[in-house]
Amino acid sequence: MADLKSESGDEYEIERGFTFEAVVAEELAPVSEEAIAAPLNEEQARDARTQELESVDFYIAQGYADIAVDTLDLLERQFGSHPDIDLRRASA
């Protein structure tokens, strides 16, 4: 590290050799492969489906039927058929 002095005489230290990637790597906690592969429990799946269905409601309200249908297709593949998905599909 280099020591520098400001015009007022305060000392500064400059750290050399750090990169953006190194800073990001320090900030982001590693995620284990088990956590990534772990299936959602029933409550987590319901919460995720509900959140996505709220997005679908927004898409429908804004007139984005194509995005709504694509999202519903994705939800059905991810969570299986569900009456809430069918209801919104009829609205889209």
- Amino acid at residue number 24: V
Q: What is the pLDDT of residues 46-70, one digit of tens each?
A: 999 999 999 999 999 999 999 999 9
pLDDT on residue 13? 59
DSSP H or E segment with residue 62: none
CA angle 27, 20, 14 (to 5 degrees): 100
The verdict on pTM exceeding 0.85 is no
